[in-house]
Amino acid sequence: MISVKNLYKSFEGNSVLKNVSVTFEKGKTNLVIGQSGSGKTVLMKCLVGLVEADKGQILYDDLDFANLSFSERKVIRKNLGMLFQGGALFDSLNVEENIIFPLDMFTNMTKDEKIERANFCLKRVNLENVNKLFPAELSGGMKKRVAIARAIANNPEYLFCDEPNSGLDPKTAIVIDNLISEITKEYNMTTIINTHDMNSVMEIGDKVAFIHLGELWWEGDRNAILETDNKELNNFIYASELMRKLKKES
């Protein structure tokens, strides 16, 4: 479980996160939604330590991430997996080497064991016979799947996904969403997903937090989100013609 308490972050006097308090539960897909520029990515970067928060606490179970030393953070980071918006696969390594990379760094597994683990992870994301391909040779959806395979290679306790559906067609986006959701349940991970895709919310949102102008405006589950009277959230949800039509019909 990850708890965020009274988190603040600003850049050059511009407040990006204001008093954000939210809990992300274990074994659930926790979605953070909001418009572009609302502060979702900064929140995620604060959670993983890529950006230092100005004030507030980030608790990994009971450990306050902000007050940990570099080596203590390293221990937590070994239990983190992250899926970046563009995949962030290492260009100079092929698919197999990308997945093996964290194992090379932090385990004493033999070469055969590492290859076996890489093949297992690739199979888990429904990709086979791509081991020797380089990232430049993969489609957008394949890159995302390889990135998921790399993120789960080390059996992480926490999985972070920054806009996993960006740049994907709706069908592939649903495949990626379901894959993340299945893996979350299977490995009982705490998964946090940044998205502005309402399909993802309705498909896999066990818990949803809505961030607006750097503040937490609403939290609940995917069923409650359609019945909310929160004005800003409704503006966000029903921004598209399709959603407005669906609302009318229901």
Partner 1 sequence: MNLFYHFGSYFVLMAKVFKRPEKASIYMRQIIVEMDNLGLKSIGIVAIISVFMGAVVTIQTVFNIDNPFMPVYAVGYTTRQSIILEFSPTIISLVLAGKVGSRISSEIGTMRVTEQVDALEIMGINSAGYLILPKVVASMIINPVLIIISMLLGILGGWFAAVFGGILPEAHYIIGILLEFSFYDITYALIKTIVFAFLIATISGYFGYNTKGGALEVGQSSTKAVVFSSIFIILFNLILTQILLA
Q: Which residues sit at the interface with partner 1, rule CB under 8 A? A: 48-50, 73-75, 77-78, 80-82, 84-86, 88-91, 101-102, 104-106, 160
Q: Which is nearer to partner 1, 44 or 225 (CB)?
A: 44
Other CB atoms within 10 A of residue 49 CB: 17
Q: Is 69 helix (H, G, I), strand (E, B) or coil?
A: coil
Q: What is the residue whose two structure tokens read 């799947």?
A: 145
Nearer to partner 1, 98 or 184 (CB): 98
Minimum CB distance to partner 1 smaller for 79 or for 234: 79
- To partner 1, the closest distance from the beta carbon of 215 in angstroms equals 25
In the complex, minimum distance from the CB of residue 123 to partner 1, in angstroms, rounded to a whole number: 22
Minimum CB separation of residue 89 from partner 1 in Å reads 8
Burial class (CB in 10 A: 0-12, 13-18, 19+), 172: middle
Name the minimum Å distance from CB 162 to partner 1: 9
Q: Which residues contact 195 (CB under 8 A, 6 or more apart)?
A: 31, 32, 33, 163, 164, 165, 201
Judged by beta carbon, residue 41 or residue 210, the one nearer partner 1 is 41
Structure tokens at 203: 């498909």
Nearer to partner 1, 50 or 239 (CB): 50
**Neighbouring residues of 248: CB distance < 8 A, sequence distance ≥ 6:** none
Shortest distance (Å) from residue 77 CB to partner 1: 3
